Copies of this chain bind each other. A is one copy, B any other.
């Protein structure tokens, strides 16, 4: 129980390197969300991460390599929270309304949302980016499917269509509302929520 990777006071060279790497990745992910994939510059990354120019070239192959790695790491981390919430939620409705609440509470301004959108957009030009994202999305839909199934068993949701179909619909609906909210903050979320409640209940 006394294990310590740092083994004492001074950080080893390798540990320092890992920290630098992580700082660069974090700064890059943040900048992608803030200024957009194509507007990110190495200079800005270095400044944000607080590391010298050369450190980036030393740790990463090039700009493309860096953006890719940062985007993947960043989005996976961003998706971890919603996934955990979905797995922890008691039923679909709780999960749905929770997410809507997060939207309404300013979740849209979360940097992760911007990063996510940038990455999705870029992934249609770079297959190596799409794969990990798609995997995570499937995981999310799987968790939702589980919720739906439970609700169906309890009669809270119409059991007719396969649970996976309903899960896909709920997941897509949430992301679609996010998209519409970005464009139009005045969007009537309450009305949409009420409609969903009714529809899920089965009229």
Interchain CB contact under 8 A, B173 and A169: yes
Interchain CB contact under 8 A, A183 and B37: no
CB-contact partner of A38 in B38, B172, B176, B179, under 8 A: B38
Interchain CB contact under 8 A, B188 and A180: no
Which partner residue on chain B sits nearest A129 by CB separation? B183
- Say how many copies of this protein the assembly contains: 4
Chain B hits for A153, CB < 8 A: none
Q: Which residues of A contact B (CB under 8 A)?
A: 35-39, 114, 117-118, 120-125, 130, 133-134, 137-138, 158, 160-162, 164-166, 168-169, 171-177, 179-180, 182-184, 187-188, 190-203
Q: Interface on chain A toward B: helix, strand, loop, or mixed SS?
A: helix
Interchain CB contact under 8 A, B173 and A173: yes
Interchain CB contact under 8 A, B176 and A195: no
**A83 to nearest B CB, angstroms?**
15
